[in-house]
Amino acid sequence: MPRYALKIEYDGRPFAGWQRQSAQASVQGAVEAALDRVEGGTHLIAAAGRTDTGVHATGQVAHCDMARDWDPFRLAAALNAHLRPLPVAVVACAPVAADWHARFSAVERRYTYRIICRRAPLVHDAGRAWRVPVTLDVAAMQAGADHLLGRHDFTTFRATHCQATSPIRTLDEARIETRPCDNGQDLRIHLRARSFLHNQVRSIVGTLERVGAGAWAPGAVATALAARDRTACGPVAPAEGLCLTGVGYPADPFAPLMPAG
């Protein structure tokens, strides 16, 4: 059976996360239903990561097995036709080897968390960013984030119900970007690692917000990390600011492709 890699973007607000749910809408369920309509039968897909309720993606990757050979552009177009009007789109599709796996072949995941600092409610960015009503000290936040780089026990920064067998992870990038913004402060927190624990990104962001607001000193992030205790973590940032922006592989299956139409 031919296997295809799918690059998928979605707005997470209407869904109870990526993972298939028996009684609630999910992104996985939407894509699998579209595959069933495209080719008939039952299709199951696997993704690089399971995003939570309300979390978005511009670079989620999944794979599917089809009964016949498809031109990848036609498969993407057919899926997008059946996904409408849901806020989900297949932006690229590529044939891959039968043993290629969206999750297990991945060597890195990239997330971006967006914070907009202003007193006024968000209008155009509502549901896509965390509104914080005070200006944040970006330099202090970056100093705090630097303590998290490298290989550590991230028990403090993972959900109590996280199912990972080990809390050890290596954070390869923690970079805070400031973008021009006419009506406040627009921050993007970029995090990159081979894999993340459940709620790790949102736990890190919530802690860094406390540093930026002046409630924590940057060095307190290192203290919290060393505690290996969930109660030492800052508040968990809300889901709407988080976006899965990319998944890395030893060889990018989408590299030679143009975006799907």
Residues forming the active site: 52
Nearest CA among 205, 169, 171, 213 for reference residue 188: 205
Residue 260 CB coordination number (10 Å): 21
Q: Long-range contact list for 77-86, CB < 8 A, 24+ apart?
A: 77/260, 77/261, 78/38, 79/6, 79/31, 79/34, 79/35, 79/38, 80/260, 82/33, 82/34, 82/37, 82/38, 83/30, 83/31, 83/34, 86/14, 86/30
Is the N-terminal amide bond of 180 cis, ω within 30° of 0? no
How many helices and strands in the chain, by DSSP H and E? 5, 10
Give the pairing of strands 130-132 and 108-117: parallel
CA distance linking residue 44 with residue 148, whole number of Å: 36
Q: Are 171 and 150 in contact (CB under 8 A)?
A: yes
In total, the chain counts a number of residues equal to 261
Q: 51: which 2 tokens?
A: 């995003």
- The DSSP line for 175-188 is EEEEE--TTSEEEE
CA distance linking residue 87 with residue 49, whole number of Å: 18
